[in-house]
Structure 1
Amino acid sequence: MIELRNLTKSFRTPAGRKVLFRDVNAFFPEGKNIGILGRNGAGKTTLLRIMGGIDYPDSGRVITDQRISWPMGLSGGFQGSMTGRENAAFVCGLHGIWGSAKRKVLDRVQDFAEIGDYFDAPVKSYSSGMRSRLAFGLSIAVDFDYYLVDEVMSVGDAHFKHKCEQVIEEKRKSANFIIVAHSMPTLKKNCDVGLYLGPSGLQIFDTVDEAIRLYQQGLPKPAQNSPAQP
């Protein structure tokens, strides 16, 4: 069960305070993979960060009895002077993973990231692609009931994207996903229901196709070419 109760979130901007969510109440369907759609700035990433405990609402709360991951692929939380291994070990400690279970997680991360000896080098020496590999590997190596995915499959080379898709398909056998993506095929392939953040607020639909249809209706129409002048 995941419930948003009286959730309000706003940000201060040069033009004044922007409210993304105001007293939002919603129940997420249980045991479903959920696709989140909305135009840029609608609050998709912010919602994931709040559910994953990375950000906090102004008021209200997320109520759940599920183990929810941090947003998959999030690399901003790494400590640059620590190695990839040390960062992964630190996260294990935060989640109460020790001993043989910790070694298993570290082995999974190292295997997935495919960054060789850099796993034992400071993260500040990594390229952005290496950070993404480490972050995704760490996200997937820890077992959760729900995994939060924010456009992670749109970064990296073709091999990395394919590897991400494979591991998500495998994890779907025992866990669920909440995915933010601008790729409609990705959402259709991986999601059962849709959540749309639009002018009317947060709306949850029984199928992801319904949410996609509403999202696409709100997109600006492509400009028509002017007729050639004689």
Structure 2
Amino acid sequence: MREKVRFVEEFAEIGEYFDLPVKSYSSGMRSRVTFGLSMAFDFDYYLIDEVMAVGDAQFRRKSQALFEEKLRHAKLILVSHNMKDIEQLCDVVVLIKKGETTLYENVKEGIAAYRGEVSATNGKTDAA
């Protein structure tokens, strides 16, 4: 477990603040530590609710590289309204509307269906 804590401390790059109470962290510091903690362990599936861009450009690049490495050996379940993330990270799309699901094995078709739903409702949709 100490190895995992050491990994999170080094990855988060928050220096001496790491040993302070979490309640004293800024939201950015909390996000760095949380992401580092999720990357400290190997999972078969990663469940992500909206991809977040945390930190400066260098930290985002480092985070993205590590996440991509994890996805070489794991699967991702991503909830997002950001079609760029969907296009880059997913190989299928499941559109959920009013409790009903539609599977799109072609990501571009799934994105088009989502955009059509958003357009048809003037951006007010419960589709995800």
Q: Give TM-score, length-normalised by structure 2.
A: 0.83
The answer for the alignment partner of 1:206 in structure 2 is 105
| Equivalent residue, structure 1, for 2:41 | 142
1:16-54, Cα deviation, whole Å (9 max, x unpaired): xxxxxxxxxxxxxxxxxxxxxxxxxxxxxxxxxxxxxxx
Looking at both structures, which has the greater relative contact order when contacts are Cα pairs under 8 Å and sequence separation is at least 6?
1
5+ long unaligned stretches in structure 2? 123-128
Aligned residues: 121
Return the offset for 1:156: 3.7
More helix by share: 2
Matched, 1:158 2:54: no
Answer yes or no: is the 8 Å Cα contact 2:32–2:54 preserved in 1.
no
* Helix, strand or coil at the partner of 1:204: strand
Secondary structure in 2 aligned to 1:179?
strand
- CA–CA distance in structure 2, aligned partners of residues 171 and 190 of structure 1: 12
Match of 1:191 in 2: 90
User: 1:111 Cα shift?
Assistant: 1.5
More strand by share: 1
Contact 1:149 1:179 in 2 (8 A): yes
Deviates more, 1:138-147 or 1:196-205: 196-205
Cα shift readout 1:161-188 (whole Å, capped 9, x = no counterpart): 3222211111111111111223222211
Gaps of 5+ in 1: 1-101, 223-230
The answer to whether the Cα contact below 8 Å between 1:153 and 1:165 also exists between their aligned partners in 2 is: no
Q: Say which SS state the counterpart of residue 203 (structure 1) adopts.
A: strand
Give the CA RMSD over aligned residues. 1.9
